[in-house]
Amino acid sequence: MKKHILLPMLAAATIFAGCTDDIEINTVGEQSFDTRQSYLSIRNDDIPRQIIGVELNDFTCTRQVRLALTKTIDNDQQAVIEIDPQAVEEYNKANFTSYDVFPAAQASIAGNGTVQIGKWLDRSAPVDVTIDKGTLTPGSKYMLALSIKEGSTSGDVKLAPQKSTIYWLVTVGNPVPDNTKPYKTLCYVEVNRESILNVGAYTLATSGKQLFDIAVIFAANINWNYDEQRPYLKFNENVQHILSHRDKYVKPLQDKGIKVILDVLGNHDFTGVGCLGGKYAVDFADECRSAVEAYGLDGVDLDDEWSSYNPTSPVGGASGQKMGELILALRKAMPDKIVAVYNIGASISVPNIINGEAVADAVDISTYPYYGSFGTNPPFGLPKSKYAPIGVNVSTQLPYSLTYYTQTYNVNQGFGCFFVYDLTSVDRTSYLTQASNVLFGEATVLSQPLVSKDF
């Protein structure tokens, strides 16, 4: 087995996460490094994780990677990045997965993979990696591995253990509109009384892009199965109806480029997202993955509310440590899906590092839960680019100025996300325009009629 294969505790990511120019060198396993030595690793340029999801919707998709050093040195360095089908086979064997290898002939690396790092620099310039769809079938999934070619580096650097390969989980799809914007926007919908389809009605007046990037189905529940002695994911009749009729309620949003995720909320027993550590975290993460895959969703949102935690219960009481373990388990179970966290309850005390893994690397977005207020301290070391410090209930809190909030916290303070709660069938274009004018320089308009819940 090659020394660059990671196993099985890799954190991973979804394509949703925001872009950054910073390269984060994960400290996992580096306690045994010789600090006098410079180690070379490969990283995705926008998402500094070892596994990411890549959606191949158009004919081609280009993303960027970099090489990074743990320590600068006083001479130029060169290495070669290569397409590595063998690494996929080894990953499958080590992680008990069965991903098909992405066809190497349909992937290319700029400059034939040769990458330079100048002296006294700790990273290379970004390198384009392009994949093309060819005749691949929409709905199919592949893994592409990009490795630093062994023997291609000089004697001044060594390959970083477990960091000389990155993996792309490539999902082949159909073309969707480009909704790329400088800020990410979420919208929670109370589906017990409102239609999730209204998320797709709000667009930007000039570009025609969707106002919202993510629609949150609020909410599924977590409960305890007494017969099987385990937590389980529970859907009430309204959530189940939406999931069972995904072609009517979910797919139309996804076809517009909107991600649809499922909120997981406590339900008045001793089980909640804040008490599942260890094997319970792994088991529940697998159940969430099964639901996401079965209903064609794009991820989950953890919401630590309405649980009656009991330290004497089979799962014990809640803690930040346990919730962090669940977050990491979800990332491993769903490497190409969104993991979001509502910043309430146990999430507030989640440690930055658990078992050597950075929790912030496993989360795509987190939201501050107290509507009409603000919180400027992202949890567990999350960067500002992934945090929404403000949120507004658009059915009741219209007096709050979205112009002030977005200008103050998003533009002036650099927070990358914004969200609203409780979107209804009442037209809120004028109110939401306050935010979109600041964030995107465009008014918000309706692109389709608003509808009421129809079941």
Q: What is the pLDDT of residues 183-240, one digit of tens each?
A: 999 999 999 999 999 999 999 999 999 999 999 999 999 999 999 999 999 999 999 9
Phi, psi for 105 (deg, rounded to 5): -70, -15
Residue-range domain boundaries for the chain: 12-172, 184-446
14 has pLDDT over 60: no
Which residues are paired to 259 by β-bridges? 214
Helix (H) or strand (E) holding 100: strand 100-101
Q: pLDDT category, 405, cuts 50, 70, 90?
A: very high
Does 36 have pLDDT greater than 90? Answer: no
Phi, psi (rounded to 5 degrees) for 14: -110, 155
**Catalytic (active site) residue 305:** yes
Which pLDDT score is estimated for 302?
Answer: 98
What's the CATH fold of domain 12-172? Immunoglobulin-like (2.60.40)
Choose, from 305, 325, 357, 442, the residue flagged as catalytic: 305
For the chain, give the mean pLDDT.
92
At 282-304, the pLDDT tens digits run 999 999 999 999 999 999 999 99
pLDDT at 23 over 50: no
The 3-state secondary structure of 317-378 reads: CCCHHHHHHHHHHHHHHCCCCEEEEECCHHHHHCCCEECCEEHHHHCCEEECCCCCCECCCC
pTM of model > 0.95: no
Cα–Cα separations (whole angstroms), residue 435 to 211, 324, 394, 401, 419: 10, 32, 12, 9, 10
Give the CATH fold of the 184-446 domain: TIM Barrel (3.20.20)
CA 65, CA 30: separation in Å to the nearest integer? 21
Q: How confident is the model at residue 33 (pLDDT cuts 50, 70, 90)?
A: low
Given the structure tokens 């390269």, which residue do they identify?
A: 23
Mean pLDDT lowest for which of 198-212, 223-237, 306-320, 395-409?
Answer: 395-409
pLDDT-based confidence at residue 15 (cuts at 50, 70, 90): very low
Classified as helix, coil or strand, 257 is: coil
Instruction: Identify the CA nearest to 255 among candidates 335, 175, 195.
Output: 175
31 band by pLDDT with thresholds 50, 70 and 90: very low
